[in-house]
Amino acid sequence: MSEVRIPAFAKINLRLDVLGKRADGFHELRTIFQTISLHDELRLRASRSDGVTLSIEGNQPLSAEPVEKNLVYRAVDALRRELRIRGGVELRLKKTIPAGRGLGGGSSDAAAALLGYLRLTRKKLAAARLMEMAAFLGADVPFFLLGGRALGINKGEEIYPLPDIPKLHVLVVSPKQIHVPTPDAYRWLKAKALRLTKSAVNPKLWEFCALCWSAEGSGLSNDFEAPVFRRHPRLDRIKRELLQRGAAEASLAGSGSAVFGIFPSPAKARRAAVGFPHDQTFVCETVSRDRYARLMRIAG
């Protein structure tokens, strides 16, 4: 096989709870991930030259970085070393998912690179080792080896599949001029996280457990909303406008700055998108785990 094309789907967090500060300095999370149909596309082609080359078009990262630091490059380079492959590979990434908006684009690209390179080289790797490599690349990367609806614990890298829910129609609003660096979002949460650490009983945890096994999957919640909205009031206004325009629920995506709403139909989501002429908008739908596996060609 000389070329592989593979999508890299975005995610939203149906629930994101920060339970407290860990001894290693990271935060203990409980989150429910959900893949959505918004996606990048990665093309991998065998090359006669040695090494890895990567070109990117479309939504560029917010800051320029050496190509060797890109997660797609790092994922393929790590697999080449793991599998001891000398042949070169040419990577072309077409970005549609806006960078730095809490939609997991970089992490999804990395997972697509791992899966795509295995397919290109017709190699196999034990699932546990693949998960380990994904976690080394980033906390969200392991989720994108699974897709659908899943529980993330610890730093978010420990993943457990959850029952899929009926398809949801989603409008994502990505404000062009607002960027929320993830370290800043965690710093704004710092005081709250420390208080949670000292609590012997955390009712949020029991509420979260009940939601995980809910067939409806409703009850959007994100602990980053309050601190992020205080510093970026326009994101709060976007959420309220989504609700006013017919969204049943709305929430911040990850640590931001994208905001998404759940609509009863694609048509209503498209009509609502007209109300955000100065922002990027994406009308999409949730992607179940089975559909994700088919689209990514993940073996059962």
Residues involved in catalysis: 11, 140
Angle of helix 71-83 versus helix 127-137 axis, rounded to 10: 140
- What token pair was written down for 4? 């592989």
Amino acid in the structure at residue 248:
A
Closest C-alpha to 248, from 163, 174, 172, 168:
168
**Angstrom distance (rounded) from CA 177 to CA 131:** 35
Closest C-alpha to 259, from 244, 275, 237, 278:
237
User: What is the DSSP secondary-structure string of 201-263?
Assistant: --HHHHHHHHHHT-SS----EETTHHHHHHH-HHHHHHHHHHHHTT-SEEEE-TTSS-EEEEE
**Angstrom distance (rounded) from CA 247 to CA 241:** 9
Alpha helices in the chain (DSSP H): 71-83, 105-121, 127-137, 182-188, 190-197, 203-212, 225-231, 233-244, 266-273, 289-296
The CA distances from residue 59 to 3, 51, 88, 96, 176, in Å, are: 23, 25, 26, 6, 11
The CA distances from residue 3 to 90, 122, 250, in Å, are: 9, 12, 39
Phi, psi of 219 (to 5 degrees): 100, 55
How long is the chain? 300
- What token pair was written down for 126? 């034990």
